[in-house]
């Protein structure tokens, strides 16, 4: 609705109605809400038509309703804005009469669209930040799974998944049986390349053990040179006090990450690579989205794998946001996926119509499962800060 560039601001003499329909003013002039004489003076100065609303008292509001003193003011300034569409979208955020009557107890169980933002702030304050580069230009952050208390584990979700029959191969979705096939991501039409390995690494099976403590799972973030990551990755893994893998399995993990880093750097022509080996026990990137990066390599070493939809249903699925999709497909533990993203995104860009594979993290919150996912990116400037 507000697809053009816009700014949000506060206006000193903004006229608004509160929840009870009474005339109130901007918070910068709260004196007039405390003083009936100041209120009447303001009405005269602002040339406001007479109103039947009672004069405010020292309670900051004239109405007797419990929540009538609560109001939110949003001003959008721009060109060719669709006022009606913007108002309709904002009205969807309001509680229904039934939801309003439910009170605080019922409100706490409503879906929280800002939950990711709360987690991001907690993660930032705790010093555990990881920039995921989604359709939020500044990235998306959440707590590392190993920082959370251990829960009972649903062992079925840790089962190593076999490759499903593949019937989705098109000019936009390509499946290859050799890593060199990942180079096809450079084709304009291709949105997703999946290298389906004939067999999974042995350390993936080792990581599926439900008895492994979350704090023992591999978990790190580092920048490495395109010439290889083995030495840096090995150092990061051995820096953990406790480790879930044997030395043999650890060496295989190091070798796998190193190989994928070299492949990713070759196809993207990047001189360095951002490596994130994440341990997650929440729904992570649970909304359907496109990554704000040119390319991203993803493979899952433990737990359920990333879900995706065909580009032909991208717009429909993006509109679903958090809803499940009958068009969803899941990667498996044999898969190394190279995603094409939507590229850098500026504030105000249209959400729909961009190329880039639409995907999300699997729903695991509350299952006790900790996923281990490898993500490779071309570094952005914030990686060097």
Tens digits of per-residue pLDDT, 231-254? 999 999 999 888 999 999 999 999
* pLDDT given for residue 62 in this prediction: 41
* pLDDT given for residue 179 in this prediction: 94
* pLDDT given for residue 310 in this prediction: 92
State phi, psi for 339 to the nearest 5 degrees: -90, 145
* pLDDT given for residue 161 in this prediction: 86
For tokens 């004196």, name the residue: 31
Under a CB-based contact definition with an 8 Å cutoff, are residues 369 and 157 in contact?
Answer: yes
* pLDDT given for residue 39 in this prediction: 55
The CB-side HSE value for 202 (13 A sphere, CA atoms) comes to 9
Q: How many CB atoms lie within 10 A of CB 155?
A: 14
Residue ranges in the chain modelled with pLDDT below 50: 1-21, 23-30, 33, 48-56, 58-64, 127-131, 135-149, 347-348, 383-385
* pLDDT given for residue 227 in this prediction: 87
Give the H/E segment covering residue 101.
helix 97-107
How far apart (Å, rounded) are the C-alpha atoms in residues 367 and 152? 7
* pLDDT given for residue 240 in this prediction: 87
For 238, the token pair is 């051995």
Q: Are strands 329-330 and 335-340 parallel, antiparallel or unpaired?
A: unpaired
Instruction: For 160-224, give the DSSP string.
Output: PPPPPP----SSSEEEESSGGGGGGGGSTT--EEEEE-SS--HHHHHHT-TTS-GGGS--EEEEE
SS3 263: helix
Positive or negative: CA dihedral 195, 197, 203, 208: positive
Provide the total of helices (H) and of strands (E) in the chain, helices listed first.
9, 14
pTM: 0.61
Q: pLDDT tens across 172-187, in order?
A: 999 999 999 999 998 9
Cα–Cα separations (whole angstroms), residue 307 to 285, 324, 337: 11, 10, 11
How far apart (Å, rounded) are the C-alpha atoms in residues 23 and 29? 13
* pLDDT given for residue 323 in this prediction: 86
* pLDDT given for residue 133 in this prediction: 53
The CB-side HSE value for 327 (13 A sphere, CA atoms) comes to 17
Cα–Cα separations (whole angstroms), residue 165 to 194, 196, 329: 13, 12, 11
Q: How many CB atoms lie within 10 A of CB 377?
A: 25
Residue 47 CB contacts under 8 Å (≥ 6 apart), including other chains: none
Under a CB-based contact definition with an 8 Å cutoff, are residues 218 and 240 in contact?
Answer: yes
């Amino acid at each position: 609705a507000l697809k053009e560039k816009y700014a949000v601001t506060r206006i000193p003499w903004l006229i608004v109605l509160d929840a009870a329909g009474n005339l109130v003013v901007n918070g910068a002039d709260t004196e007039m809400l405390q003083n009936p004489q100041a209120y009447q003076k303001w009405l005269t100065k602002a040339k406001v038509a007479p109103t039947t609303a009672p004069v405010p008292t020292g309670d900051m509001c004239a109405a007797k309703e419990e929540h009538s003193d609560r109001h939110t003011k949003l001003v959008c300034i721009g060109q060719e804005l669709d006022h009606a569409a913007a108002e309709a979208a904002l009205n969807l955020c309001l509680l229904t009469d039934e939801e309003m009557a439910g009170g605080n107890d019922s409100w706490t169980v409503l879906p929280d669209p800002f939950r990711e933002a709360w987690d991001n702030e907690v993660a930032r304050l705790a010093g555990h930040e990881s920039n995921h580069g989604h359709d939020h230009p500044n990235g998306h952050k959440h707590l590392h799974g190993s920082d959370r208390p251990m829960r009972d584990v649903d062992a079925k979700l840790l089962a190593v998944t076999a490759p499903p029959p593949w019937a989705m191969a098109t000019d936009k979705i390509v499946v290859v049986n050799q890593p060199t096939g990942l180079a096809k991501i450079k084709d304009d039409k291709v949105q997703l390349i999946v290298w389906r390995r004939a067999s999974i690494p042995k350390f993936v099976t080792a990581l599926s053990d439900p008895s492994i403590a979350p704090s023992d799972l591999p978990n790190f973030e580092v920048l490495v040179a395109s010439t290889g990551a083995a030495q840096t990755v090995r150092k990061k893994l051995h820096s953990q006090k406790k480790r879930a893998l044997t030395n043999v399995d650890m060496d295989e993990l190091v070798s796998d990450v190193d190989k994928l880093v070299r492949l990713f750097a070759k196809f993207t022509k990047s001189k360095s690579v951002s490596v994130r080996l994440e341990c997650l026990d929440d729904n992570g990137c649970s909304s359907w989205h496109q990554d704000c990066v040119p390319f991203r390599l993803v493979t899952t070493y433990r737990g359920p794998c990333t879900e995706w939809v065909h580009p032909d249903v991208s717009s429909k699925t993006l509109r679903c946001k958090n809803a499940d999709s009958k068009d969803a497909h899941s990667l498996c533990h044999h898969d190394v996926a190279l995603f094409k993203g939507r590229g850098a995104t500026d504030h105000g860009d249209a959400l729909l119509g961009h190329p880039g594979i639409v995907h999300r993290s699997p729903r695991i919150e509350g299952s006790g499962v900790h996923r281990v996912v490898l993500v490779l990116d071309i570094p952005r400037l914030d990686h060097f800060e």
